Chains A and B, each alone.
Chain A
Amino acid sequence: MSGPNLRAIWAIYTFELHRFRRTLLTGLLVPVITTSLYFVVFGGAIGSRMTEIDGIPYAAFIVPGLIMMSMFTESIFNASFGIYMPKFTGTIYELLSAPVSAAETVTAYVGAAATKAFIVGIIIFATAHLFVDISVAHPVAMIAFMVLIAISFCLFGFILGIWAQSFEQLQVIPMLIIMPMTFLGGAFYSIHMLADPWRTITLFNPIVYLISGFRWTFFGKGDVGIEYSIAFIAAMLALCLAVVGWMFRSGYRLKK
């Protein structure tokens, strides 16, 4: 055999998508219902009493943040679960004994998880249209942003799945770190609304730059310059790739 093992990538990719298909109902219905609830509560009940933020109606303002929040959660959950389960059930033996490189493994698992996260993002985007009028200023950038976010967070989830040695460890990072960072990262407000020590402190939260960048693709403006957002995504991708590369080279928690 020469060249990359494309059949293996395809086998893992379709296996993972098949796994998602088994939980299709909950997998797709949950984001739709969650989004609708956010719109009813934030967009309808609270938003009606709020002024516009940066000239954008509040209900529309929260759409990018909602999509990002769900994509973060979906990406991390799917990717971490995808690699944690074989470790947990022992079926990882087959992957480790197969003629598959680290790059192929990551491509397949992260590709499948990112595909699902992207689909969820699109579904939320479509659901949002039922509640508010949104026009997207930079549609191509929006799609590119979603793809990059999905890949970055799936890589992060993949790392988490390899690192985790229990279901609790698998949950702790998304629930205790990513979730608060997303809420405090301007998913539902502009960081300009904060008073100053908090505003400056918030700038240390990388999620701010991601949500701001995605909001830019919708409205042409964000909390921070788009160039900072692009730099942050690039940095996150590079960091995750470096960590994954190190994990495979050292055999970290995969091979004794």
Chain B
Amino acid sequence: MASIITISGLTKSYASGFQALKGVDLSIEEGEIFALLGPNGAGKTTLISIVCGNVRPSGGGVTVAGHDIIRSYRGARSAIGLVPQELSTDQFERVIDTVAFSRGLFGKPRNDAYIEKVLRDLSLWDKRNSKILELSGGMKRRVMIAKALSHEPRVLFLDEPTAGVDVELRRDMWKLIGELRETGVTIILTTHYIEEAEEMADRVGVINKGELMLVEDKDVLMRKLGQKTLTIALTEPLSAVPDHLAEWDVSLKAEGNEMEYLFDTRAERTGVSSLLRKLGDLGIGYKDLNTRQSSLEDIFVSLVHREQMA
């Protein structure tokens, strides 16, 4: 797959001196769904805003569909549809007018059939003559998506698409994003809900304090998700892992009072029973067993935590 967005060494310092981005490198493949995950204030929106043209970069470069976002901004922006986090709409406009307006703003010739298709796909066709202020919050969000899709973009940015949205609507949104991807649109979404990234993304990037800390295929992350940690509470503390246990991936925790074993739940042999048998053979007593699934959340928290310690 070819890369549709290339971000290199991107930095942003605001007038206040706050460094929102500290040299981000990222490449987005055409047709993928990329989830940018991070806590509030991590730099997600700043990153999106720079790519879309709403914020000026301090340093580094971005190309979209081969166009530099500064030198060749028309080409770059024509390829992008943006749905910002805030529900910002022209309240007094009719749905169909505001969507047609967006298409014109992006320099595309009028195309009623396409606008109708977009509105139908988003279940907005029945509401096309309603004023936006008459719509519910979820419907307004759909109008903003329709506006972003009105000019047939190759890349769609969704900034926190499900922030402040109820559970049912969030499911709807996920379904919708899945359908959009079928049309071949590249989708970049930001979220601080891990389950959202898990649900939809092909790849996940974790950003914190303006630095991209990890970019990985979701499947790779899921494999890490498939791992479990077995914690064995020992009756007598050990000072070191016995040599006989070398073939198991074990480590000592809690000053030798606990032994941890990392295993893959999907492997044919998890090694749990043989480890316990071996412990029995070695005469190492234990009083409790506990297994725990490591989630994307754990990975996320430990990444962010490690950053904070540094």
* Chain A residues with a Cβ under 8 A of chain B: 1, 5-8, 10-12, 15, 18-19, 22, 89-91, 93-101, 251, 255-256
Contact = CB atoms under 8 A, between A and B. Distances in A.
Contacts of B90: 89, 91
Given A8-B105, A11-B105, A99 B88 contact: no
Contacts of A89: 88-91
Contacts of B73: 99
Contacts of B106: 8, 98-99
B55 A255 contact: yes
Contact of A97 (B80, B92, B107): B80
A95 B104 CA distance: 11
Given A7-B109, A10-B104, A11-B105, A93 B54 contact: yes
B56 A251 contact: yes
Contacts of A101: 74
Nearest to A10: B104
A11 B97 CA distance: 10
A91 B88 contact: yes
B44 to A, nearest CB: 15
A240 B141 CA distance: 38
B42 interface: no
B174 interface: no
Candidate in A5, A8, A11, A94 with the most chain B CB atoms within 10 angstroms: A94
Interface in B78-112: 78, 80, 82, 84, 86, 88-92, 97, 101-109
A22 B92 contact: yes
B53 A97 contact: yes
Given A7-B109, A22-B92, A93-B54, A99 B78 contact: yes
Contacts of B74: 1, 5, 99, 101
Contacts of A98: 53, 77, 105-106
A255 B56 contact: yes
A256 B53 CA distance: 10
A94 B88 CA distance: 9
A19 B54 CA distance: 25
For A8, A19, A91, the residue with the greatest tally of chain B CB atoms inside 10 Å of its CB is A91
Given A7-B104, A11-B101, A15-B101, A99 B56 contact: no
A90 B85 CA distance: 11
B107 A1 contact: yes
Range of interface residues on chain B? 20 to 34
Contacts of B91: 89
B188 to A, nearest CB: 14
Interface of B: 14-15, 52-56, 73-75, 77-78, 80, 82, 84, 86, 88-92, 97, 101-109, 147
| Leading 4 A-B pairs by shortest Cβ distance | A11-B104, A90-B88, A99-B74, A97-B52
**Secondary structure of the A side of the interface?**
helix
B47 to A, nearest CB: 13
Given A1-B74, A93-B88, A7 B53 contact: no
Contacts of A5: 74, 107
B105 A255 contact: no
A251 B56 CA distance: 8
A246 B275 CA distance: 72
A89 B108 CA distance: 25
Given A7-B104, A7-B108, 16 more contacts: A1-B74, A6-B107, A8-B107, A11-B101, A15-B101, A18-B97, A89-B89, A89-B91, A91-B88, A91-B90, A93-B84, A94-B105, A97-B54, A98-B53, A99-B73, A99-B78
6 contacts: A1-B107, A11-B104, A11-B105, A19-B92, A97-B82, A98-B77
A8 B102 contact: no
Looking at A90, A97, A256, which has the most chain B CB atoms within 10 Å of its CB? A97
B105 A100 contact: yes
Nearest to A88: B88
Contacts of A100: 105
Nearest to B84: A93
A5 B105 CA distance: 8
A11 B104 CA distance: 5
A91 B86 CA distance: 9
A8 B55 contact: no
A225 to B, nearest CB: 45
Nearest to A96: B54
Contacts of A11: 101, 103-105
B53 A96 contact: yes
Nearest to B144: A94
B248 to A, nearest CB: 53
